[in-house]
Structure 1
Amino acid sequence: MPAKPTLRTIAMFVTALWLSLLAALSPAQAASNHMRATLLAEGPVQPGDTVMLALLMQPEAGWHGYWSNPGDAGYGLALDWSLPSGATTGAMQFPVPQTLLVQGLMNHVYEHAYAVLVPIKLPQDVGGASQLPISVKAQWLVCTESICVPERAELQGTITIGSGAKDARFEQWRASLPAPLDRSGSFALANNALRVALPFPASASLETPHLFLSTERLADYAAPQRFFRNGDTLVVEVPLSTSPATPAKVEGVLAMGKDAGGIAFTALPGTVPEGGTQIGGAAFSLTVLGLALLGAFVGGLVLNVMPCVFPVLSLKALALARGNSHNARGEALAYTAGVVLACLALGGVMLALRASGEQVGWAFQLQEPGVVAVLLLLAVAMTANFAGLFELPGLSVERGAGPSGAFGTGLLAAFIATPCTGPFMAAAMGAALVLPWWAALGVFAALGLGLALPFLALGFVPALRLLLPKPGAWMERFRRWMALPMGLTALALAWLAWRVGGQTFTVVLIAIAVVLLGALAAVGVTQRKGQSTVKLIAIAALIAIGGVIGLPPATPAQIAEGGLLNARPFSEAALAEARKAGKPVFAYFTADWCLSCKVNESTSIERETTRAAFEKAGVVVLVGDWTRRDPAITKFLTAQGAAGVPLYLWYPAGKGDPRQLPQVLTPDLLAGLPVE
């Protein structure tokens, strides 16, 4: 044990000596720096505002930089600012670090490009300047696993006063920061170990957790850490160093695993629960995986009654009931394969985007205007088919589609079902974000299997088909009635296109849909004459594809929020401010494409009884709109163990722990919440 502090002391001494010599002897940045540093400002601001600066650190391959607490060896970033008169800097904000164990020494490092953010508060009086020059003398240590080199650079930058576009990279860099807990944890020193209790949802899984401590001279960084589940509390045990200080508080970051982000915490002296279920670096337990698979399967099953899926399932079932399919089992398997493949594809793309640093969640594709346009045109075509305008064999009660048609119908059903997050899917989708990739894909496959199960059962169990109504002319009338829910789905998608793409985008898209309807009507006339429709179908496809490609740029509609509850836009700063004031807080996260969100808002949230109860209790209402991609909201959802919306959180007055409310709200649930 004594060897590690001695080695660290020597390492720190040598590092400090090298930095001192470098500062004295190197008047300018060395051309051979192994870490390229760049100073950037987020964008134009007004006098008196706070502007975010970034030091973009880009190490050469094989080299790494250090976190604020470098660990057993290394040296953090040191900055000496030259700012306009009256400007002040805030604390450096680092992304979640990585561990690097070298010869028994634990290092807290970054082996990739990373950005350190620094807020700068500007004075009210800038003397009419439109450009404010800034500079910083930066010193750091950059290392490989065998050699370390101290480096420095004098970086120049400019803050623009005025208005204009912000640097979009800052949103991604903010998303890389650990999400701050809105309440404190507790810690205790006992049995030669630091024990930390952190509030952490029981529904959220941990892949390979690690506790990074900002508080120095307290823990043995290289020693194994132990993690325990105790309800909605995570208990971490870290062996102490040989001569630990007794801190007034403990600060740090809980890293939740590779590409899973982290949580910044502050822990105060207090009681740490004993016992609990130990978890390790194995990413998941069989129980957690089993529950995630079950939740996804049941959630997929529930999706079958949603208005965008039920018409498809109904017509497929009636086609089997009519006996027009000579290979019911083959069609059922093909349909299931299409559904499962679509769910795996959507889940795989989401996991790949998250692994590359993108902040996305389930149904992420609905935040893209182009995808919404494709879905709208599909819904219009399906509505026309149900209404009898033209014949689509895959959605016919007159004849079977064959395996290829059933496979395509399965792909379509799964793709259009993603906005309808079922009430059993929240924990399952949240778990999928932190499970190993192969286990996460198993969750998405279970979702697809649940969605496909009714048709799969009809195909393999003839007795179930006998329970269906007898064939007759009513089937065609039923098909026409199914145009109603599908038409409503198309209207909802048109509204969503306006929200994510803007007015011009939506008007052009609707015009394309009208032209497409005309082409499909011509297909129907030709079909009824018994003539070939290949050319007309090709024309309709070209209209749809060319129309989507030629759509004008999306300019999202600016919608005034508030509603009956006078809700304010959600941000972690707004949440912290309300909690600091001791007020109860209701935070809800929604999206225009989320059907269950909209139902809850109309039946339980936007109600006069809820408004009166919240007004009487002084409740602060915060709404996180996830209709369009928002990395900050995505990061917060992930920290709560949620992969998407809806999410409802109730924070009682004071410093009580938040309560995660069910995804299906009853009309009087919110009005009856305890405020203390």
Structure 2
Amino acid sequence: MKVEAVEAELVARETSVVPGQPLTLGLRLQHDPHWHSYWRNPGDSGLPTQLELSLPEGFVAGSFDWPAPQRLFIPPLANYGYEGEVVLPLRVSVPAGFDGDSLRVVGKASWLMCSDVCIPGDAELALTLPVSRDGSTSASRHAALFDDAHRRLPAQTLEVQVGAAGERLSLGLPEALASAEFFPYHEGLIANAAPQALHAIEAEGQPERRLELRLSDEGARRVADPAERLRAAEGVLVAGDRIFELTPVVAQGPLDAGVEISRVAGAEAAPAPGSSAGRAGGAFSSLFSRGAGGASTAGPAAGAPGTQATGAPGSEGSSASASGAAVDAGGQVGGSLAGLLVAALFAAVGGLILNLMPCVFPVIGLKVLGFAGHGSAGDPARQQSASRASRNSALAFSAGVLTSFWLLAVLLLGLRAAGHAVGWGFQLQSPAFVAAMALLFVAIGLNFSGVWEFGLGMTRLGQYEQRKGSTTSGSFGAGVLAVLVATPCTAPFMGSALGYTLSASVVETLVVFTALGLGMALPYLLLGSFPAWLRHLPRPGRWMESFRQALAFPMYATAAWLGWVLGRQAGIDATFALAIGAVLLGLAAWLYGRFVQQAQPVRVDPVRARHRRGFAASLAVLSLAAGLLVAWPDQKSISGQPARSASAGEGFDPRSAGLAGVAADAGAAGRVGAPGAGAGETGSASAFADPASGTSADPAAWYPWSPDAVARASAAGRPVFVDFTAAWCVSCQVNKKLVLDREAVVQAMQAAEVLRLRADWTSRDEEIGAELARHGRNGVPLYLLYRPGSTQPTVLPELLTPGIVAAAIESVARQ
């Protein structure tokens, strides 16, 4: 069964079952390139592979016989696991009285597959074997895998003397071994990433060896107990082609160190995450020890330093039984304090810049209006009251911002724990949420236009505080609204900071999101804390109401844009339904504002006025309910996600692009449905000519992203530019219109024969989410430029300029 990053199968050593004779079964794992699973002791992080078998009565299954693993470096950590193809064998005792004609074995396997990201998975597996009545059987086609696993099992036991001093653990080996590498059975005692040095000594004229290991901090404390010292030395010793299971005994005296003759390198010999040239994060990336911000280091051969991973985090045919939760290569790894502080700093700066993004500006403009109203007081008493109101409003606004960011963080953590690859702006991948947001912006726009009033609600933002009292709840709501409208935008520094949270603990994730919220709220906290600054704002007057009404139009524009996003997700019918819903919402707002909120003339009979208001209110409620019902997207119609239209991928002909064998898989066929993609944008079968000529019939063509297309194009000598985008991402749209579609940039890419691929995350896509996580991001935009033949891309900034892109392409063209 093919699932995420691995092919799993329940296999047998023999072709048939013989009653009374043991049966050797195994879990065969064929890992995708640069992915690995874990040994019985996973090391610094990870989870061991498990298999639960359902067998007939009388059958008894043993546990895995674990072949010796590889040491896999993820600096500064190390894990123990397997790559490539491996069988984990186990013995099953078959009762002599078994009288069935066949044996059906059902098992549930679970694992953690890791590369730059980790994907927990599981699969239901089954195997049926005939029963041999004459006692004869033969080797199955998997016998060679079982034999290889058997060769990696301990063939004999080796008694070793164990000594400890400080953080050093010494194993006295009685044989003159040329090399040795130790794999401990028990977690937390040995420093897995430390080098292991083999020393030669002479003991009573006989050559012996000492293997010097480093203890972990916890291990150094615990080995004072002789029993714990022996536990630390329990494990497997690999000495060339010989494999031993160690039987430790406590040394009677100190063990001589001797002379070092060989050494197994530790994690310090492996490249640190982020060390590749051109990766984002620069000097700061080494502080993000999870690998979230830098180049991958996963899956070396035993004893070798980490190698850069190029495998895709998913492939065609992935089973839904595999969980898609994406974390870093180390699983649940605790990061350094320095890394957390840098991530928090980046988040705070990104949150501050977020105030200048087009998503947030209309709401922020109205908040400034509220402060302008506070700065108008004349006498000292009113000044003191205005200062207090400003401070309370700023605190309430900041509380709304922080609460919203905390809720987003909790939702992200919950969805990831449930196995979903989600990131910043994930809620906008839901058509229902997009439709609800569009209607909310229509309602806010109508409020700003004066069609209806929401009293002291969140859209009033405190501009009438002096006249109508405290608007603390309104300011809190304004903070919530500001975060809601901010999610389509990604400010500079935010990408690296949010990428840090991909594998962070709950506390660390909340710290980063708190820093993001504080950065966004900082200007208002400062204005509320220093009322004297408010004197520099314009004096209140009629211009405030005019400005408020003018800001209704950005709200309408935002609603229109969200309608376009909904169309990309659920089709034109959903957009039309949203438009009708908006009209009905407008009718409800007009009825409420005109007949319920407005004061009736004195000459009107109070009873008739009350009945009129009740009737109008009923009509408003009915109109509102009808609008919501009509606008709500039909989930049954959102099956294939129009953003993945067939036409979007049909145009990708790898042969016309000069990439023999590159094929857009079915899953990638629509990923090119990028914002604004239309006829001619996704390319045609003849869009690219022979790359040797460097010409293109359609230099603006974009093709669907897939990991295979990137790998094959790079291997064929083509530079590759990948645009990770979404229709709801404002930053993506700005970069697309102002930079990527600019004629000079298109011509520069054409001259360098750059293949342009687009990954559309408008609707949720687990493979794209995992690829974002692989590059240390949990949101869009992300721009990658692959040099010919390279598997490690250059990561461009979130906000592009033609100069940045041109310089990156020029560096590729010079090669």
Where do 1:160-199 residues align within 5 Å?
191-193=263-265, 197=270
Give the match for residue 651 of structure 1. Answer: 786
In 2, the alpha carbon distance for the partners of 1:111 and 1:34 equals 23
- 2:534 corresponds to 1:465: yes
Tell me how far apart the structure 1 counterparts of residues 395 and 123 of structure 2 sit (CA, whole Å): 47
Aligned to 2:179: none
In the other structure, the counterpart of 1:607 is: 742
Amino acid of the residue matched to residue 756 of structure 2? V
Cα contact 1:34–1:63 (8 A) shared by 2: no
Deviation, structure 1 residue 545: 4.8
Question: Under a length normalisation based on structure 2, what TM-score does the superposition of the two structures give?
Answer: 0.55
CA 1:553 to 1:451, structure 2 compared with 1: closer, same or farther past 3 Å? Answer: farther
Matched residue of 2:434: which SS? helix
| Alignment deviations for residues 628-669 of structure 1 (CA, whole Å, 9 cap, x no partner) | 111111111101111111111111223374211111111233
* 3-state SS of 1:390 partner: coil
8 Å CA contact 1:367, 1:628 repeated in 2: yes
Deviations 1:121-149 (A, max 9, x none): xxxxxxxxxxxxxxx999999xxxxxxxx
- Given that 2:429 and 2:764 are in contact with CA atoms closer than 8 Å, whether structure 1 keeps it comes out as yes
Match of 2:459 among 376, 384, 395: 395
Aligned match of 1:346: 408
Aligned counterpart, 2:604: none
What's the CA shift string for 1:194-249, capped at 9, x where partnerless?
6664584364689997xxxxxxxxxxxxxxxxx9x998575999985xxxxx99x9
- 1:83-482 to structure 2, matched below 5 A, reads 96-97=112-113, 113-114=122-123, 191-193=263-265, 197=270, 200-201=273-274, 203=281, 240=303, 260-261=326-327, 283-323=334-374, 327-392=389-454, 393=456, 394-396=458-460, 399-400=464-465, 402-482=471-551
1:498 aligned onto 2:567? yes
Q: How far has the Cα of 1:472 moved from its partner?
A: 0.8
Partner residue, 1:132: none
- Quickly say closer, same or farther: Cα 1:596–1:110, change in 2 above 3 A: closer
Q: Secondary structure at 1:428's aligned position in 2? A: helix
Give the letter for the 2:781 counterpart. P
Q: Residue 76 of structure 1 aligns with which residue?
A: 87
Taking the aligned partners of 1:57 and 1:383, their CA distance within structure 2 comes to: 56
Structure-2 residue corresponding to 1:183: none
Are the counterparts in 2 of residues 197 and 235 from structure 1 also a CA contact under 8 Å? no
Amino acid at match of 1:292: A
Call closer, same or farther: CA 1:94–1:582 in 2, change over 3 Å.
Answer: farther
Which runs of 5 or more structure 1 residues have no equivalent in the other structure?
1-17, 38-55, 80-92, 99-108, 118-135, 142-188, 210-226, 241-245, 264-278
Once the 2 structures are TM-superposed, how far is the Cα of residue 76 of structure 1 from its aligned partner?
Answer: 2.2
Alpha-carbon separation, structure 2, partners of 1:345 and 1:327? 27
Q: Identify if the C-alpha distance between structure 1 residues 111 and 650 changes in structure 2 by more than 3 Å, giving closer, same or farther.
A: closer
Specify the SS of the correspondent of 1:669.
helix
Structure 1: how far apart are the matches of 2:286 and 2:401? 26
Name the CA shift for 1:230/1:607 in 2 (closer, same or farther; >3 Å).
closer
- SS state of the match for residue 305, structure 1? coil
Alignment-derived partner of residue 52 in structure 2: 59
Over 3 Å counting, the alpha-carbon distance change for 1:488 and 1:66 in structure 2 is farther
The alpha-carbon distance between structure 1 residues 580 and 250, as it changes in their structure 2 partners (threshold 3 A), is closer
Cα distance, 1:526 vs structure 2: 3.3
For residue 598 of structure 1, the aligned residue among 718, 733, 741 is 733
Structure 1 residue 544, shift from structure 2 partner: 5.5
In structure 2, do the counterparts of structure 1 residues 306 and 252 end up closer, same or farther at CA, with 3 Å as the change threshold?
closer
Distance, in Å, in 1 between the alignment partners of 2:782 and 2:527 is: 35
Report the Cα offset of residue 193 of structure 1. Answer: 2.4
CA contact under 8 A between 2:355 and 2:520: conserved in structure 1? yes
How far is 1:459 from its partner? Answer: 2.5
Q: State the alpha-carbon separation in 2 of the partners of residues 333 and 370 from structure 1.
A: 32
Gaps of 5+ in 2: 1-10, 29-48, 55-60, 71-79, 91-108, 127-139, 147-196, 198-261, 276-280, 314-323, 377-385, 601-609, 649-671, 673-680, 683-698
Give me the CA root mean square deviation: 4.9
Match of 1:53 in 2: none
Cα distance in 1 for residues equivalent to 2:428 and 2:22: 47
- Once residues 333 and 480 of structure 1 are traced to their aligned partners in structure 2, the CA distance between those partners, rounded to angstroms, is 26
What is the one-letter code of the residue matched to 1:332?
A: A
3-state DSSP of counterpart to 2:757: strand
Mean Cα deviation higher: 477-486 or 632-641: 477-486
Name the counterpart of 1:571. Answer: 706
The 2-side partners of 1:423 and 1:94 are apart by 39
Q: CA deviation at 1:453?
A: 2.3
1:665 is aligned, of 787, 800, 806, to 800
Taking a change above 3 Å as real, the CA distance of residues 295 and 497 of structure 1, as seen in their structure-2 partners, is same
Taking the aligned partners of 1:67 and 1:481, their CA distance within structure 2 comes to 70
Contact 2:725 2:732 in 1 (8 A): yes
Query: C-alpha distance in 1, partners of 2:352/2:521?
Result: 8
Q: Distance in 1 between matches of 2:594 and 2:67?
A: 71
Determine the C-alpha separation between the residues in 2 that align with 1:500 and 1:642.
23
* Counterparts in 2 of 1:615 and 1:29: CA distance versus 1, 3 Å: farther
Could you tell me which amino acid in structure 1 is paired with residue 87 of structure 2? G
Residue 441 of structure 2 contacts residue 559 of structure 2 at CA under 8 Å; is this kept in 1?
A: yes
Q: What SS does the corresponding residue of 1:25 show, helix, strand or coil?
A: coil
Measured in 1, the distance between the counterparts of 2:478 and 2:362 equals: 12
Pick closer, same or farther for the CA change 1:207–1:351 going to 2, 3 Å. Answer: farther
Number of equivalent positions: 513
Question: Structure 1 residues 235 and 438 mapped into 2: Cα distance closer, same or farther (>3 Å)?
Answer: same
Contact 1:380/1:487 (8 A) holds in 2: yes
- Indicate the SS of the match to 1:655: coil
Instruction: Render the CA deviation track for 1:5-36: whole Å, top value 9, x for unaligned.
Output: xxxxxxxxxxxxx9658943269999xx9999
1:25 aligned to 2:18? yes
Using the alignment, how far apart are the partners of 2:554 and 2:504 within structure 1?
36
1:306: Cα distance to partner?
2.7
Identity %: 35
TM-score by length of 1: 0.65
Q: Partners in 2 of 1:26 and 1:436 — Cα distance?
A: 51
The code of the aligned residue for 1:664 comes to L
1:327–1:554 CA distance, 2 compared to 1 (3 A): farther
* Partner Cα separation in structure 2 for residue 443 and residue 449 of structure 1: 10
CA deviation after TM superposition for structure 1 residue 259, in Å: 5.4
Q: Which residue of 2 aligns with 1:48?
A: none
* Alpha carbons 1:206, 1:434 under 8 Å: kept: no
CA shift for structure 1 position 58: 6.8
Q: Which moved more, 1:569-578 or 1:543-552?
A: 543-552
Q: Structure 2: how far apart are the matches of 1:574 and 1:622?
A: 9
Check the 8 A contact 1:67/1:97 in 2, yes or no. no
CA gap of 1:355–1:66, structure 2 versus 1, over 3 A, is farther
Corresponding residue SS for 2:802: coil
